[in-house]
Amino acid sequence: MLGKERTPGVNGIVSGKQFGVGYEETPASRVMLLRGELDLSAAAYFRSIIEPVLAQFDKTLVFDMRDLTYMDSTGIGIVIFALKARADHPGSFRIEQIPGKIKRLFDLTGISRFLDGAGDGGR
């Protein structure tokens, strides 16, 4: 697991929906397994995790969102950041297993048009 647990919030209360990132590597891809809530409090951490990987072009970078329970414009901003970083290498980045409620945000904002072949996992 790459994912640090989010530091306790106010008065030590920790949300049960903390953001975290798991990691799997296959011969062809590096898969980031996103889980929990990707909101403003998780954005800096997530960027710090992906920045070094975004510059490695020997394998396809995959964000697997099946366990992501929440995302807003903060997360969409990071997806744009990743898309731009991989834009010169077609096919080097994709998003898989997008939950329905997040797919809806992708469609509403128009980011879907940059995500060719992004599977929605039927959800």
Judged by CB under 8 A, which stretch of 20-28, 52-60, 89-97, 107-115 contacts other proteins? 107-115
Binding mask 56-95 for other proteins (x = CB under 8 A): --------------x-xxx-xx--x--xx--x--------
45 binds other proteins (CB under 8 A): no
Using alpha carbons, select from 123, 100, 98 the residue that is nearest to residue 115.
98
Tokens 């903060």 — which residue?
A: 74
65: enclosing H helix or E strand: strand 60-71
Kindly report the length of the chain. 123
Mark residue 58 as left, alpha or beta (left: phi above 0; alpha: psi -120 to 50; beta: remaining). Answer: alpha
20: enclosing H helix or E strand: strand 20-25
41 binds other proteins (CB under 8 A): yes
Q: Which of 4, 57, 109, 123 binds other proteins (CB under 8 A)?
A: 109
- Which residues in this chain contact other proteins in the complex, by CB under 8 A? 6-7, 9-10, 15, 17, 37, 39-41, 43, 70, 72-74, 76-77, 80, 83-84, 87, 101, 104-105, 108-111, 114
